[in-house]
Amino acid sequence: MIPYGKHLVDEQDVDAVVDVLRNQNLTQGAIVPKFEQALCDYTSCQYATAVNSATSGLHLACLAGGVQQYDLVWTVPNSFVASANCALYCGAKIDFVDINASTRNIDVEALGKKLVVAAKTNALPKALIVVHFSGLSCDMQAIHNLTQKYQVLLIEDAAHALGGSYQQRKVGSCQYSDMSVLSFHPVKSITSAEGGAVLTNSKTYDTKVKLLAKHGVTRDVEQMTCESPGPWYYQQIALGFNYRLSDLHAALGLSQLTKLDGFIARRTELALNYQNALADLPLKLPIFSDDSNSAWHIYMVEVLQHDRKTIFEQLQARGVGVNVHYIPIHLQPYYQQFGFKQGDFPISEQFYHNALTLPLFPSLEDAQQNTVIDVLHKVLQ
């Protein structure tokens, strides 16, 4: 079975992890700060906090931005549930903005219209979480211009997009956002096994994220409520969480980061191969943007003339491990209690109805991709 996604770990990565096991602190050592600095260097962002998952990172970003009970947070339905759950963790309410049918990212025009209505009805969101679906950056400048007018906190869910760029700047630079959240899950651009990071150019947000990621406990005398009696002393000054990343995980991530551009180059090559080889099939293919270079986390097509379920099963039966991303969040049973229903966000629903994720990962061999292409031609013609 050719999987839809797969990590690529080499001996350099293994050696980096073994070095930590043999010679370094396993956690709270020197490797996590090195990884955080390397992320800053790569993205040109000023501050980074490595955490144990992108879900934790989204939660921290909301908390650092002041999201609290009874606030409202907007995101898109076309994402994994973590993009919305993070708001619920804070006691906030959630709502959605539909996607653009071409980019599969948030519909900027629909966002603008929804903000105008919300302003008139005193129902503006505290935060907007945009999702760079499949690795293609949203139009961040346009979104920033809209949200800044209403003082809406802007968070990038960039779990798919590390290694991609927007307006010739790396995703994660936070040029147009308050914070950006990365994922290092095994099928993402790089992996730390499990892990994520919160990036920002705000010292205030960074300080809050770091504090809350480590139990709300500080040894910084400037943050304490009284003079420290000695070097052993610490204070809990907030209710935080244990969202730390271990040095073992950070060592893997740091080693992987040195190979990121090569991974993205191979993903782009594979995406171009699909784009050329599938052009004559009854499929809607993803777009290549003029102002963005996608990280190509996934390559998704839409089945136009066939039943998606039938095609999915035929491909699986022939050894092609296709998948589907994503079941719209508002259609999940848990979200039904909030009043969402089928038909609320028709573009996301239509995309899900037809969507198919094809195998794409850096170690995918040309012969394997040719097999995927050949099987697609057979089942669709």
Q: What is the Cα–Cα distance from 44 to 171, expressed in whole angstroms?
A: 9
Tens-binned pLDDT, residue by residue, of the chain (381 aa):
999 999 999 999 999 999 999 999 999 999 999 999 999 999 999 999 999 999 999 999 999 999 999 999 999 999 999 999 999 999 999 999 999 999 999 999 999 999 999 999 999 999 999 999 999 999 999 999 999 999 999 999 999 999 999 999 999 999 999 999 999 999 999 999 999 999 999 999 999 999 999 999 999 999 999 999 999 999 999 999 999 999 999 999 999 999 999 999 999 999 999 999 999 999 999 999 999 999 999 999 999 999 999 999 999 999 999 999 999 999 999 999 999 999 999 999 999 999 999 999 999 999 999 999 999 999 998
Q: What is the Cα–Cα distance from 247 to 30, expressed in whole angstroms?
A: 7
Task: State how far the alpha carbon of 69 is from the alpha carbons of 88, 92, 120, in Å.
Answer: 9, 5, 22
3-state secondary structure of 171: coil
Q: What is the Cα–Cα distance from 313 to 179, expressed in whole angstroms?
A: 40
What is the DSSP pairing of strand 165-166 with strand 169-170?
antiparallel
Q: What is the Cα–Cα distance from 7 to 23, expressed in whole angstroms?
A: 26
Tell me how far the alpha carbon of residue 298 is from its chain's centroid. 12
Written as six digits, the tokens of 334 are 């848990």
CB atoms within 10 A of CB 141: 13
Q: What is the Cα–Cα distance from 29 to 301, expressed in whole angstroms?
A: 44
Which pLDDT score is estimated for 340? 98
Report long-range pairs for 277-281 (Cβ below 8 Å, ≥24 apart): 277/373, 278/373, 278/376, 281/376, 281/377, 281/380, 281/381
Q: Write down the CATH superfamily of domain 260-380.
A: Aspartate Aminotransferase, domain 1 (3.90.1150.10)
3-state secondary structure of 56: helix
Nearest in space to 199 (alpha carbons), one of 234, 163, 173 = 173
Written as six digits, the tokens of 326 are 């994503």
Reported pTM = 0.98
Domain 11-97+104-257 identical in fold to domain 260-380 = no
What is the DSSP pairing of strand 169-170 with strand 196-200?
unpaired
Residue by residue, DSSP assigns 75-127 as: E-SSS-THHHHHHHHTT-EEEE-PBPTTT-SB-HHHHHHHHHHHHHTT---SE
Backbone angles phi, psi at 3, to 5 degrees: -75, 165
Which pLDDT score is estimated for 381? 85
What residue spans define the domains of the chain? 11-97+104-257, 260-380
Q: What is the Cα–Cα distance from 93 to 84, expressed in whole angstroms?
A: 9
Q: Out of 3.40.640.10, 3.40.50.11540, 3.10.129.10, 3.40.630.10, which CATH number does the structure's domain 11-97+104-257 have?
A: 3.40.640.10
